[in-house]
Amino acid sequence: LLCFRTSLFTALIFHLLLQPPLTQLSIITQPNIVLLMADDLGIGDVGCYGNDTIRTPNIDRLAKEGVRLTQHIAAAPLCTPSRAAFLTGRYPLRSGMDAINNYRVIFWNAGSGGLPPNETTFAKILQQQGYSTGLIGKWHQGVNCESHNDHCHHPLNHGFDYFYGMPFTLISDCQPTEPPEMDRAFRRKLWLSTQMICLLTLTAALGRLTGLIPVSWKMVTCLAGFSLLFFISWFSSYGFVPYWNCIMMRNHDITEQPMVIERTTALILRESISFIERNKHKPFLLFLSFLHSHTPLLTTEKFLGRSSHGLYGDNVEEMDWMVGQVLDAVDKEGLQNATLVYFASDHGGWLERQEGKRQLGGWNGIYRGGKAMGGWEGGIRVPGIFRWPGVLPAGTVIDEPTSLMDIYPTVVHLAGGLLPQDRVIDGRDLMPLLQGRVEHSEHEFLFHYCGIHLHAVRWHQKHSGAIWKAHYVTPVFRPLGAGGCYDKGFCPCFGGGVTHHDPPLLFDLSRDPSEAKALSADTEPLFDTVLRKIGRAVEEHRRTLTPVPEQLSVYNVVWKPWLQPCCGTFPFCWCDKEGDN
């Protein structure tokens, strides 16, 4: 009997030792999670997605050692709503983070809109599961609600134990040598209006002095007072954008106001590596939200002039180097096999972003359209790479529809948490697909919004392999024949700048990923059947939507002095604590 038990035990040990490495998932119940998100990076800017002129060896290494998704979709084509969906696993209009107007992102640190406190981010659930949670880099989900320090929208109020970075987003206004970027067209109108009012006031004063115009000095004084008040009303905000928006924070404290851009990259990298080192003995979540590759394309001297794509290419190559530094930090601490690493972009590259002949936005490869375009693939199809040695099969490519919203249920399940039961979660757990335990994505339909306006719907017809995409609304490209809205700098979601299609434009992305030639009833026998199926899916989807407060309403996005984060006594907001250190 003893010999039998010994033999049985020995056989069991050999059986366990001979198990393939994919079973390690059952051993590592709470892996470390490192989420790397680029800003405005086009899918065509990365080597493993077909670019052979911008060098991205570290991102490419992630793909070689892990799983690369070729149909990874952002829930929105702009920063604020896309990141809200990423953090909550829900379409952004469910949380009020998509706009009914042309203000489609958070515009000011001193606005009152932002990710609602009643939304449950994946960071909050992982925090409850015992994870150390950190956000380094860009936030862009709002700061305050009612006072300058209530921090109702702040990362620390959404499940992050530690925050270092920009509560806003990087913009060209943060770099004094660059032309202003924020609300540029509106600013021109304000300047023009101010000049016209001043000219009217000066004309009235000269007319009174010469007696050519019968106007009283009281009227001239009123005009002068109105001119001054009008100028102050807008210049107090737009005239000081670097002080109001270009700030750096550590947790609740402002460290730089305005930020010193020459050292920003080094500080973000230092903070990321430090977070890994501090938390190596317990499960951690690090969300490194890069400021790269958003304009003004902050690039250190070491990388300037290295790429064949000018400043934009230099910036992407520097970001790739930062990815490598973070991966090296994980490996140095011996955490490689216990860490899930994910890399993506928040949406597609910005085609229209140019200064003269300089192209400052990204490239979206073979895909049509770009940033701000809710339906076209170029605005929403992004890189998506996972690496977890021993758990995810290396060198795998998956061509199934997936979403940035899928990260939410994926990391929650890995951490041993439970999804909220009181709300709709639109994301799906990706682990079965990533490990090859299932063949198809759980997504049958994905809905592509531009603001609150439904522009397109994707139907994954699993049994046939077809990926049908119906466009109800598309932006009007100008000039004619161009691939973007170069006349505006941004494609709109509604109004005269869009075209409504009835019947919708229909494409099969499995045959025409570039959306080059729309199908018709004459060229596609299933045309009517597909559109009816998609139409019914839209009706069902809309029944799941409930009214919520609009976080990006005009009132919520305007600058409010009483909400302005300030490291001094408002309006004297200036500090450099990093320099002091």
First-to-final CA distance of the chain:
71
Q: Which of 140, 154, 309, 455 is catalytic?
A: 140
**What tokens appear for 3 in the block?**
């010999």
* CB atoms closer than 10 angstroms to residue 429: 18
Helix (H) or strand (E) holding 453: strand 453-461
**What tokens appear for 289 in the block?**
């939200």
* CB atoms closer than 10 angstroms to residue 430: 26
Contact 383, 345 (CB under 8 A): yes
Contact 73, 403 (CB under 8 A): yes
Contact 155, 250 (CB under 8 A): no
Task: Give helix 217-238 / helix 184-210 axis angle, nearest 10°.
Answer: 160
Omega of the bond leading into 383 within 30 degrees of 0 (cis): no
Contact 94, 86 (CB under 8 A): no
**What tokens appear for 39 in the block?**
């800003």
Counting every residue written for the chain, the total comes to 581
In this structure, which amino acid lies at residue 203? T
Omega of the bond leading into 492 within 30 degrees of 0 (cis): no
Q: Which residues neighbour 476 within 8 Å (Cβ) at sequence distance 6 or greater?
A: 485, 496, 497, 498, 499
Contact 313, 331 (CB under 8 A): no
Omega of the bond leading into 520 within 30 degrees of 0 (cis): no
Can you tell me the distance from the alpha carbon of 180 to that of 241, in angstroms, rounded to the nearest whole number?
A: 9
Can you tell me the distance from the alpha carbon of 421 to that of 181, in angstroms, rounded to the nearest whole number?
A: 41
Contact 126, 419 (CB under 8 A): no
Scored b (16 or more CB within 10 A) or e, 201-220 reads beebbeebeeeeeeeeeeeb
DSSP, collapsed to helix, strand or coil, labels residue 455 as: strand
Can you tell me the distance from the alpha carbon of 385 to that of 406, in angstroms, rounded to the nearest whole number?
A: 13
**What tokens appear for 130 in the block?**
């015992």
On the CB side of 440, CA atoms within 13 Å amount to 13
Contact 283, 30 (CB under 8 A): yes
Q: Which of 72, 79, 347, 450 is catalytic?
A: 79
Contact 345, 367 (CB under 8 A): no
Can you tell me the distance from the alpha carbon of 575 to that of 573, in angstroms, rounded to the nearest whole number?
A: 7
Catalytic annotation present for 140? yes
Catalytic annotation present for 79? yes
Q: Where are the beta strands (DSSP E) in 31-180?
A: 32-38, 67-73, 132-138, 162-166
Contact 215, 208 (CB under 8 A): yes
Q: Which residues are catalytic, by number? A: 79, 140
